[in-house]
Amino acid sequence: MTIITPAAYPAARLRRMRRDPFSRAMMRENTITAADLIYPVFVLEGDNQRQQVASMPGVERQSLDLLLHTAEECVKLGIPALALFPLVDQSVKTYDGIEATNPDGLVPRVIRALKKNFPELGVISDIALDPYTTHGQDGLPDENGYIVNEKTIEMLVKQALTHAEAGVDVVAPSDMMDGRIGAIRSAFESKGLIHTRIMAYSAKYASAFYGPFRDAVGSSANLGKADKNTYQMDPANSDEALREVALDLAEGADMVMVKPGMPYLDVVRRVKDEFKVPTFAYQVSGEYAMLKAAAINGWLDHDKVMMESMMAFKRAGADGVLTYFAMDIARKLKAGY
């Protein structure tokens, strides 16, 4: 076998290919397109309702009538999918989160309206109980506060079926219960819902970067000083993430996700290299808020760090990214960035 030894300096001058825009473009290994983007949106009840999320500058909760305008713009920008997150009224929150299974609830109504008006736009719904529970946990706690796995799965299956029957394209279980992907997949098969895809939050870490999101969906106050450490992953672990992904794929997941994003790019890379399946990352609220705050203070160039962070996801192997920057990125791309 012939071994080719790379040239050494001065025969090899790597700066030669960096000299001009055309040669930099020729050797660029990764690119960003609007098809890489999923736009997470917050929806609330009412008409002509718009509420700013104080901890996420530029992000707002919208009522359905306004969300339809946002969806139309996403279609025009080439963003392929929205991810829905509800703010439900405190009056309908209960210990068991039963409102999550209401076929006439906020999310099913939004799903039906989006699919009616924009059938070409992918709609992804969150499967977890935290927006609907009085305690702010993703599942159901016992008398000691421990989240009970099997009882939680029963509720998650009902929630997923409700969304699938409303016409959602993708359900995204973000709860991190053991076995929930298999249970949801079996329920879909039994109901003939064979086309509903599952995007599993397979490696979701017990992260401090979620704070602004919990403000946005109104679960922060309910959660109080409690945590989610008994079901979300320890930030110290990456081998465990591969076990989680393997289990979710075996149970019927079509896509997997790593959350948060930038602090866990090493996990994204490992997952993509190991399984070679559609792999997504979530640039979560805290990541967005940090970049926004720094830009507002003039410490960073907003557009440059926004685009560089997106490129980092692509370089790490992500096939797509859920990001609150999605519309800003798509506009930059449309303008020829």
User: Which residues contact residue 22 at a Cβ distance below 8 angstroms, ignoring those fewer than 6 apart?
Assistant: none
Please indicate whether residue 334 is annotated as part of the active site.
no
| Candidates 259, 272, 292, 314; catalytic one | 259
Q: Please name every residue paired with 171 in a beta bridge, in sequence order, or none if there are none.
A: 125, 198
Phi, psi of 205 (to 5 degrees): -95, 150
Please indicate whether residue 204 is annotated as part of the active site.
yes
| Candidates 93, 204, 292, 314; catalytic one | 204
Residue 210: burial class (beta carbons within 10 Å; 0-12, 13-18, 19+): buried
Would you please indicate which residues are annotated as catalytic (active-site) residues?
A: 204, 259
